[in-house]
Structure 1
Amino acid sequence: MKKLLSTLLFFTLIVAQAQTTVLKGRVLDKNNFPLPGAIIQIELTGDVTTTDFNGFFTLFLEGDQSSTVKISYMGFETIEEVLEPNSGESVEKLFVLTPTVNELSEVIVSGFQSGIVKAMNKQKGDVNVTNVISSDQTGKFPDSNIGDALKRVPGIMMQNDQGEARDIVIRGISPALNSVTINGERMPSAEGDNRRIQMDLIPSDIIQLIEVNKSVTPDMEGDAIGGSVNLVTRSNPNDFRFAATTTYGRNPIREGGQNYNISALIADKISPKLSYAFSGSIYSNDYGSDNVENEFEAEQSLAIVEQQIRRYDVKRTRRSASLNLDYNFDLNNSIYFKSIYNHRDDWENRYKLKIDDIDSESDGTLRVKRETKAGGPGNDYTRLEDQKAYKFALGGEHLLGKLKMDWKYSYAKASEDRPDERYITFEQEEIPYSNIDLTNPRFPKFAISSDYTNPGLYELDEITAENKSTFEIHNSFRMNFTLPYNNNSDQLKFGFKFNGKEKERDNIFYEYTDNFNYSSMNDVTYSDVSIDSYNAGSYNSGIFTTKEFLGGLTLTNGELVLDEFIDGNYEANEDISAFYAMITDQLGEKTKVILGARIEGTNINFKGYEFESEEDETLADVTSTSGSDDYVNVLPNLTIQHNFSDKFVVNAAYTNTIARPDYFQLVPYRIVDTDNERITEGNPGLEPTESVNFDLTAEYFFSSVGLISAGFFSKNLSNFTYRYSTQGYSYNNASWTYRQTRNGGDASINGFEVTLQSKLNFLPGFLGNLSIFSNYTFTDTETEFIDQSRTDLPLVGAVENIFNVSLSYESEKLFARASLHSSDDNLFEVGDNIYEDIYYDAQTFVDINAAYKLTDKIKLIAEIKNLTDQPLRFYQGLEERTFQVEYYDLNWNIGLRIEL
């Protein structure tokens, strides 16, 4: 450490003696909005730099001669300004650009187009392979959360939960191999079994810019095989700004289903030194979903082992806020505080009709179970899922001569609590059925005797309750140093980061059946929850115990049921230490090279439980287990950008990235299930998945604001993870089923993507107001297993074809857009054979949104989402065998947006 500090002091003394003029500049548009990705060039030396997210840049002007600074930005007029030397001093300068006017005296960049232009300029200036969406552009799509906005990006598919986009697939690569950061820092996960942040926690209202990094540089975190999504919150305004949006809409899937959203932004630079930006959002959605699930036999047939018909009634409320403060001590020293808070509550009731124990060969009977899920009176008789994710960061930037130092400490926490979650189940056995209607094999339906609707024939099966709690905490500190050499375009950058993580899941489960003597459903309050227009098919749910009756029960002196929760409880502590160094070198006027490496060391300790179902009766009987692991990854990096012209840019990258196993996969738990003759174990020996990546992208930018691009990517993976399963495991002198997550062999991912974004102003008349945005991504994967003979499987989560297209119309007052997103099916889970593999089915979404300018300050906005009524669907082995299908119907809203 002493040697490091001495070296930094030496650098500081050397660079402080150079007699240079430090230009601290900012580039804005005429509305005082920052222009990210603007190109700043000193004509005398040819030095080039670009502006950051907030339009800032720093240049060092050598000697005592005047310098001409040229600033260019696609869609805006280029400006030049002569700066006189001010040796040894820092100079602050503001540059304001005006939109380009074409030969017909038309402004190239209109108000509706401004977000698209900012995104394209930022993307053009990035040396690595990126796609960018600005906050303006996000607002043009019908997207209430960031996940929905992201599915418009080339190569992006979102996996849905309860009708909203939650997990991100990048270039056909599963969510487990991608990462999400907020202002450059990885966010913890609110879920207990993975590392992913839930994208439906974050509204688009509080985000300024989304940057999808498909290739990384050494100063970025290395756990991003598919890519890294960076969400940038609003900060550092140049003057006062206020904006507010309010919308109201309906959800036809439920009678009385409605949604509303209220969001606001207020920001100001209240002195030359201090500025703030606050964003807030409240979103409420009363809706539901119609669900059917089937399990088929492990062979090529339509024989059903189990069927479930589920009705969900959901109220989702999301509250989010972001407060950012910036303070400048002087031109060379500044600090900032950034915060983001997201809180989502899901109040849910579920009514599940379960058909199993099907005897199709002898007497033609089956069993029916009717289960109500609810919560206690404190949760309004609903099951509450309470998720939070928040982060606070304090950082600073300091210029010591030519040496720039920046640092940041951040604290982040994510949690999920599900208190007093209750279930009551009644069952009736040996109900006669005549046949299964397979007219439409995707929607099989049993023809059951009318006895299954008689409440007097149902006996109490069980009454249970559980409490679930999960949290993850990140404490991180990073420091970076940047030193220019030769000129402004060449620089050495190095730094370090420490991230300490803590994860814990603590669930508990009780049964109360013996405390109640209900002889049939006639002893409880019940109601018919069937829906005439059930979206998932012509199914009738029938009668169920009401949520008020279940929630009103006094549940005391329950029996602990270990096998329902003990295997899921664990603790994990992970420390990641990272060091990197990189040089950015301008080779001539057209080529820029980044060369460097990142070293990440990981140390993890974990605690789990070993449970024997035949022997363990109390918590004291359960054996606690522990384990640890540590490893080091060296990640070299070479990134090149070549500008053939100011419109034609080629980016190439050779990178190395990793994906750490999920915490729960590493926990050394062991579950011996005697009833089902099955053993399930964690795997403390799992290694991180490693990937060697190559990316090549060519982009041509149109003068009229647009682009056409094509890219190729290749990834070679080792040690990918998959679920190993065998039915030939020897235990207790018998053949049992054994399951464990393991490392596979090697896998390869190859693909390409193309994008076209353009105004169609060559068309006659009003058609010249149309614009098109489209992209297509193809991904091909191959895998090699170590412990399994199956070699014909694609990589889990890999999507072969992803397609997006949107057509928009824009006039002086009206903006309207229709968007389509389509993606192929993909392998979701590997089963014991091809007929037990689970696939996430293909999906197609169509959304429409519009904005009409009532005045210069007020817009009328409207949107319709999911016009195709696209369900969430999985199938088992064969496409016609529906494993799960869940419908949400379309929804719409209308509202006003005010900007001051």
Structure 2
Amino acid sequence: MSKVTILSAAIAAALSCSAYAQEEVKTNQEEVETIKVVGQRGMLMSALEQQREADTISSIVTNATIGLLPDQNVAEAVRRLAGVNVLDDQGEGRFISVRGLDPELNSANVNGVRLPAPEGDTRAVALDVIPSELVESIEVIKTLIPEMDADTIGATIRINTISANNREDFVKVQALASYNDLNGETSPEFGIDFSRKINDKLGVAGGFKHSSRKTSTDNLEMDGWSETDDGVVYAEAVEYRDYDVTRDRTGVSLTFDYAATDNTELYLRTLYSKFDDLESRRRLVFEMDEEPSTSSGDSVTFLSQDGEISVRRGAKDRYESQIIKTFEFGGETELKDDWEMDYAISYAEASEHEYRTQDPTRFRRDFDDTDELSVSFDYSNLEFTPFVANSPNVDFNDGSIYELDKLEIVNGLADKQETTLQFNAEKEFELAGDAEAEFQFGAKYRQNEIDTDVEIIEYSDFDAYTLNLVSEAASYDLFDIGPVPAIAATRSFNNQNLSSFGDVERLVVDSALDDFNIEENILALYVQGEYETDLLKVIGGFRYEQTDNKMTGNSVDGDAETVSTSSFENDYSNLLASVALTYHLQEDVLLRAGFYQSIVRPKLSNLAPRLETNEDFEVEAGNPELKPYEANNLDLSIEYYFSDTGVVQAGLFYKDIDNFIFEREFGPDDAPYNGVYNGFNFEEAVIPQNGESATVAGFEFAYNQIFDSGLIVGFNYTYTDTEGDIGERTIVLPSTSESTYNATLGYEVGDFSTRLTYSYRDDYLDELGGSADEDRWVQDQVKIDLSANYNVSEDIQVFAKIANLNDTDYVAYQRGPDRNRLLQYETYSWTGRIGVSVNF
């Protein structure tokens, strides 16, 4: 029986939540039977109720949804919300894109505490760090009001962990097994969630989750696309990569809620999440110095006598650990005369540690003699390029002919810390008739610091070290690529023989280039007013944010191997207005409108004052003078809640953005630098710049309903049109998908529940090249997931889930003038999970 058949049978027999649990409560000395609705019906009712009561245009996913779908992490848990798509890494959701916009344009927080990104070069938080089981709900908030941080254009991602305030006493234990089809590996997962009222004043809630996921990826990458004078198109480099990845996640959340007095409630909220990523890669690389010797149709042939063909067989052995920690202490106090205040102090830390990564261990043979090597590539299939190699005088797959080129060992640490103090006060007023008003003001101070430190040591000159000493056959399903370094054998040999290398060098230039420090202090003040009647709610006001930056980075000369340090200071302020309106056209029909101004501060690696140059006068640099994105945003939507489990909604959005950021290539005569940047002369430079203006316009539609029969139907669609002016041409904004949609079909009856989901995102511009033909695009993608659950009893549930059932691939390409040209292809296959959950 095939693996697919086995897993499908398990799903057919598996089990899920339903709407059934009953409990007895006493009201007015009489016993009343209350139905507590859980399962798909319960999660949809909960999400719709929260969305309906929200002051902003939002989409929400609750814990029941997260537990039901085959989601490994927070990023994947929101994949099915309207206007949301997810950018994957190694087949797993990592960054959230809202309305097709770059994840850098979002902000994220846990229980109100801002999350710094573990990676050193970005502000976008990779939400695959946080296990989805620790989360009570996730809100994707698409409009702003003055009390909210203003640094978002896409959305604010608000992650709420479980709390003793909104849970009855419970303990839930969960155990799973995960299976990946590509590598045939089974991985364990287990966790526990709990909530308990210790006494009338004190409650505690939290959870623990650990998972170890083993996956594999078959990869093909091509680079240096060129064209001969005869019109033959070819790639200068072709790589066949075989990945094995082990990702361990450990997450702990703990919340204490304490009723200090009748008027004051205090809380302590903590979260710890650790994400260990062990990546092993073997690869075969062809690099050609000259044009193809011959061509025929979609095939080209390179001959060693016409130009050197370098063949490299190498290994990457990387261990990387990311940690996010958040701590928040705060409270709420009711004062006299209808005044209320809340206050909090919080600390968040995110770090990424790359520990003694061996990348690469590279073995090399250069073929440059007559009849030494010919290699042909067939470009007829965009998604795969096979090769045929012929070497009459040597065995092309003999490991002894590939000598060690170099070994590099990398130690790197990026550490970010953010301390926040905030205070808010509000007063309610009763007006004439049925009207109410509220006045609110507050302040927030955020102190951020990021520090990166990288050390790279290169080992070479070890003539006796050849591939055959550590080789194995690659586990590469796409093509036979011959021998590659075995990871365990290579690691062991390297560690035991470091003293045998003839040349050991600390790469000062490469190490210093990635070292920088940025201090950022943000002071925010706001005033906000609210007016509400039975039909209308209006919230509006102003927010002021003052930003002060201190930045230190290194300028390095790659040829002279010199390093100089430079520091910059920059400050700016923004006064931002916003207003949100909710109007009840009918009791169940809501019209919403939101106008807000917002900013997004530059990406950290772009802002850092670092610069690299070489003997060819080529410069790659950061730009500490970058201005933040500034945006005027307008949203309109209408929502019709035709039942407790049914809604249809539609909306329009428009964004006018100034100072959007992109990387631009400059020649020696291009303004404003005219061949000189920060005292370095250049012939070619890549420097991040502020674009002139950009616009984003689109619409959203969503429909969700659970029928009395148990049928569940959901569908949402988002269309996004973007345009940015970068001077010499107009582009769509990077990471923007024009169309995204999600469809859900499920069924829930009695103790059985099942759900099939279909997610689609359009192709998008990933990176800008020197011209439109050199831009990097990512192909459109479809993902299908399936889950089934069954309640064995009131307290025991078993379930089965399959992610990426359709084995979707990742394809990046250039839109060449003649045909699309492959840059990267990856395939992952499907992952299945089977488990049991027990409530105590």
User: Is the CA contact (8 Å cut-off) linking 1:151 and 1:157 kept in structure 2?
Assistant: yes
Aligned to 2:609: 668
Instruction: Tell me which residue corresponds to 1:439.
Output: 380
CA shift for structure 1 position 350:
1.1
For 1:530 and 1:246, the matched residues in 2 are separated by 30
Higher mean Cα deviation, 539-548 or 440-449? Answer: 539-548
- 8 Å contact from structure 1 (residues 296, 881) kept in 2: no
Instruction: Provide the residue aligned with 1:316 in structure 2.
Output: 247
- Pair 1:371 & 2:314 matched: yes
State the 1:804 CA deviation: 0.1
Name the SS for the 1:117 alignment partner.
helix
**Separation in structure 1 between the aligned mates of residue 232 and residue 804 of structure 2, nearest angstrom:** 33
Per the alignment, residue 553 of structure 1 pairs with: 496
Alpha-carbon distance between aligned partners in 2 of 1:822 and 1:520, rounded to the nearest angstrom: 46
- 1:527 touches 1:546 (CA, 8 Å); kept in 2? no
Matched position secondary structure for 1:685: coil
Alpha-carbon distance in structure 1 between the residues aligned to 2:585 and 2:482 = 64
1:419–1:467: 8 Å Cα contact kept in structure 2? Answer: yes
Which residue in 2 is equivalent to 1:64?
Answer: none
Report the number of matched residues.
776
1:200-211 equivalences under 5 Å are: 200-211=128-139
Q: Deviations over 1:569-605 (max 9, x none)?
A: 100100010001101101x320000010111110010
1:825-864 Cα offsets, whole Å, 9 max, x none, are: 1111110011210112211000000101111111110001
Q: Deviations over 1:673-721 (max 9, x none)?
A: 22x5411121111000011000001000122511000000000000000
Deviation of the 1:239 alpha carbon: 3.8
The percent identity for this pair of structures is 28
Partners of 2:292 and 2:410 lie apart in 1 by 38
Note if 1:690 corresponds to 2:630. Answer: yes
In the alignment, residue 222 of structure 1 is paired with which amino acid?
A
Displacement of 1:127 in angstroms is: 2.1
Extract unaligned runs of 5+ from structure 1. Answer: 1-28, 34-78, 83-94, 100-106, 375-382, 762-767
- Counterpart of 2:510 (choices 559, 564, 582) is 564
Q: Deviations over 1:455-495 (max 9, x none)?
A: 22212211221111111000001000011012584211110
State the shift of 1:769 in Å: 2.3
Distance 1:462 1:575 in 2: 43
In the TM superposition, what is the alpha-carbon distance from 1:231 to its structure 2 partner? 0.3
Indicate whether 1:408 and 2:339 are aligned. no
The range that moved more, 361-370 or 501-510, is: 361-370
Once residues 594 and 734 of structure 1 are traced to their aligned partners in structure 2, the CA distance between those partners, rounded to angstroms, is 53
**Contact residue 765 and residue 777 of structure 2 kept, 8 A:** yes
Residue correspondence of structure 1 range 221-240 to structure 2 within 5 A = 221-237=149-165, 239-240=168-169
The residue that corresponds to 1:378 in the other structure is: none
Q: Which moved more, 1:342-351 or 1:444-453?
A: 444-453
Equivalent residue for 2:66? 138
Q: CA deviation at 1:554?
A: 4.0
Contact preservation (8 Å) 1:183, 1:232: yes
**2:315 and 2:484 in contact (8 A); partners too:** no
Moved more, 222-231 or 453-462: 453-462
Q: CA deviation at 1:186?
A: 1.4
Contact in 2 for aligned 1:373/1:547 (Cα 8 Å): no
The answer to whether residue 260 in structure 2 is matched with residue 329 in structure 1 is yes
Partner residue of 1:285 out of 213, 216, 222:
213
Asked if the contact 2:105/2:124 (under 8 Å) is kept, the reply is: no
Deviations 1:80-128 (A, max 9, x none): x99xxxxxxxxxxxx99955xxxxxxx9x56431111011001001121
Q: Cα offset for 1:331?
A: 2.0
Q: What secondary structure, in the 3-state scheme, does the structure 2 residue paired with 1:115 have?
A: helix
Aligned to 2:429: 485
Q: Would you say 1:861 and 2:793 are equivalent positions?
A: no
SS of alignment partner, residue 695 of structure 1? strand
Task: Tell me the distance in 2 between the aligned counterparts of 1:360 and 1:518.
Answer: 33
Contact 2:717 2:739 in 1 (8 A): yes
Alignment of 1:527-676 (within 5 A): 527-531=472-476, 534=477, 537-540=478-481, 542-544=483-485, 546-551=487-492, 552-555=495-498, 558-586=504-532, 588-616=533-561, 621-674=562-615
| SS state at 1:124 partner | helix
Secondary structure (helix, strand or coil) at the match of 2:361 reads: strand
Larger RCO, structures 1/2 (Cα 8 Å, 6+ apart): 2
Assess if the C-alpha contact under 8 Å between 2:522 and 2:545 holds in 1.
yes
Task: Write the distance in 1 (CA, Å) between the matches of 2:174 and 2:486.
Answer: 41
Write out per-residue CA displacement over residues 2-55 of structure 1, whole angstroms, 9 at most, x where no aligned residue: xxxxxxxxxxxxxxxxxxxxxxxxxxx99799xxxxxxxxxxxxxxxxxxxxxx
Asked if the contact 1:308/1:353 (under 8 Å) is kept, the reply is yes
Rounded to whole Å, the distance in 1 between the matches of 2:32 and 2:134 is 25
Q: Please say if 1:808 is aligned against 2:746.
A: yes
Q: Give the residue type in structure 1 aligned to 2:774.
A: E
Task: Please tell me the residue identity of whatever aligns with 2:439.
Answer: L
* SS of residue in 2 equivalent to 1:896: strand
- From 454, 463, 482, the counterpart of 1:517: 463
Write the distance in 2 (CA, Å) between the matches of 1:644 and 1:176: 36
Match of 2:762 among 786, 808, 824: 824
Following superposition, the deviation at residue 873 of structure 1 comes to: 2.2
- Conserved in 2, the CA contact under 8 Å of 1:609 and 1:624? yes
**Aligned position for 1:21:** none
Separation (CA, whole Å) in 2 of partners of 1:539 and 1:644:
65
Structure 1: distance between partners of 2:837 and 2:465 = 58
Shift of 1:364: 1.5
Q: 2:104 and 2:557 mapped to 1: Cα distance?
A: 31
> 2:363 matched to which residue of 1?
426
Contact 2:282 2:484 in 1 (8 A): no
Per-residue CA deviations over 1:859-885 (Å, capped at 9, x if unaligned) read: 110001101211222112347322111
Task: Show CA shifts across 1:714-762 (max 9, x none).
Answer: 000000000011344676999722100100011000000100111244x
AA partner of residue 425 (structure 1): R
Amino acid at match of 2:319: L
Seen in structure 2, the aligned counterparts of structure 1 residues 184 and 704 have a Cα distance that, compared at 3 Å, is: closer
Deviation at 1:434, TM superposition (A): 4.5
Residue 521 of structure 1 deviates from its aligned partner by: 2.8
Q: CA offsets, 1:617-639, max 9 Å, x none?
A: xxxx4111110110001110111
SS at the partner of 1:683?
A: coil
CA distance in 1, matches of 2:155, 2:451: 27
Bigger Cα displacement from structure 2, 364-373 vs 567-576: 364-373
Letter in 1 for 2:524: A
Give the letter for the 2:518 counterpart.
A
Equivalent-residue separation in structure 2 for 1:566 and 1:302 (angstroms):
38
Deviations 1:366-406 (A, max 9, x none): 211011122xxxxxxxx211110010110011111111110
Q: Distance in 2 between matches of 1:239 and 1:251?
A: 36
- 1:251 is matched with which residue? 180
Mark the runs of 5 or more structure 2 residues left unpaired by the alignment.
1-19, 294-301
Deviation at 1:888, TM superposition (A): 1.2
The equivalent position to 1:273 in structure 2, one of 201, 205, 216, is 201
The separation in 1 between residues aligned to 2:23 and 2:811, in whole angstroms, is 46
Paired AA for residue 557 in structure 2: E
Q: Is the 8 A contact 2:226 2:235 kept in 1?
A: no
SS at match of 1:558: strand
- Residue type at the aligned position of 1:364: L
For 1:96 and 1:485, the matched residues in 2 are separated by: 37
Structure 1 position 546, deviation (Å): 4.3
* Secondary structure of the structure 1 residue equivalent to 2:586: coil
Q: Which stretch has the larger CA shift, 455-464 or 801-810?
A: 455-464
* Residue 192 in structure 1 maps to residue 138 in structure 2: no
Q: Indicate the residue corresponding to 1:387 in structure 2.
A: 322
Cα distance in 1 for partners of 2:628, 2:524 equals 16
Change (3 A) 1:541 1:794: farther
Instruction: Classify 1:153/1:96 alpha carbon distance in 2 versus 1 (closer, same or farther; 3 Å).
Output: farther
What is the DSSP-based 3-state SS (H/G/I as helix, E as strand, rest coil) of the residue aligned with 1:742?
A: strand
Deviation, 1:358, is 4.4
**Contact residue 349 and residue 547 of structure 1 kept, 8 A:** no
Partner of residue 729, structure 2: 790
